[in-house]
Amino acid sequence: MNNLWIPIILIILAPFIGGLVYGFERIIKARMQRRIGPPLLQPFYDFLKLADKRKMIIHSAHAFLGIMHFVSLWFALGVLLLGGDLILVIFLHLLSTALLILAAYSTRSIFSHLGANRTAISILAYEPVLIIIAVSIFILTGSFDAAAAFQSEQPLLYKMPLAFIALLLVLPIKLKKSPFDVAEAHQELTGGVELEFSGIFYEAVYTAKWLDYVFCYALVYLFAGNNMLLGAGLIVFTFFYLNALDNSTARVNYKQMLRFSLAVSFSLAFINLLINSFS
């Protein structure tokens, strides 16, 4: 029973943990730019402030889809942390992003549409790689369940290092970090898909971003097996890698992103799959 309580607590506290990660990330990013940066609890201040704004919605379906994005993402995270089917997890995550894309297409704003197009393209860039990684885990552990990966004696990292590199290359796309942040692109699209949300309904999308952090770090933790120390090390490494990458690179356009992701990340994951299946 002891093993079941940890994921349940993690799932319930996921938005809080994600908010702390986001707050810490903003400080780290500021320090990398020689600034002081906001306080650690800044995301929660933003959260409470947004709760106090007047409600403005485009239409009810738009607001509803935004909230469903948050709910389905939390559900996907829950399935992942409870050790569910990895393919199911990936497609639930896809569903949550698809809901956000639908919300963005349901408005008449051109920026919202552009953001939705680009988010759809970024799904095309990272989704195949994640599925190939799930298949590699299936070949190694004999099961698609995340629980099999969490409990494996030998960390998966030693058997599939190329897949881990591929994951590191697609995580910036998923988290909308700098070289691959065309979907969000704060200077040109001012947020893309989240553009038309406001007040308490923006809160759902804003909090979903925090959940995405927890989701991605849980994916990273998959590679450590039952070795908790290695898992923590991998998460810390990924955190600093993502922020350093975000601060030091410029945005590429969506064609370059797609080409890079399908040519490099996908091939790395696929070579890893071939090695695993023939060894």
Q: Does residue 59 touch other proteins according to CB under 8 A?
A: no
Query: Which of residues 7, 19, 21, 26 is near other proteins by CB under 8 A?
Result: 26
Nearer to other proteins, 26 or 93 (CB): 26
- The span from the CA of 221 to the CA of 230, in Å, is 9
CA atoms of 213 and 128, how far apart (whole Å): 20
Closer CB to other proteins, 26 or 176, in the complex: 26
Out of 2, 60, 187, 279, point to the residue binding other proteins (CB under 8 A): 187
Using CB under 8 A as the binding rule, whether residue 198 contacts other proteins is answered as: yes
User: Which CB sits closer to other proteins, 39 or 233?
Assistant: 39
Confirm if 70 and 114 have CB atoms less than 8 A apart: no
Give the x-and-dash track for 140-179 against other proteins (CB under 8 A). Answer: ----------------------------------------
Site size for other proteins (CB under 8 A): 31
Residue 183 main-chain phi, psi, to 5 deg: -65, -35
Q: Which of 45, 158, 237, 240 binds other proteins (CB under 8 A)?
A: 45
d(CA 107, CA 111): 10
Nearby residues of 277 by Cβ (< 8 Å), 6 or more positions away: 139
Question: Which 8-state DSSP code applies to residue 114?
Answer: H
Element (H, E) at 158: helix 156-159
3-state helix, strand, coil split of the chain in percent (to 5) is 80, 0, 20
Please report whether residue 86 would count as binding other proteins according to CB under 8 A.
no
Summarize as ranges the residues that interact with other proteins (CB under 8 A): 26, 30, 33-39, 42, 45-46, 48-56, 186-187, 190-191, 195-199, 202
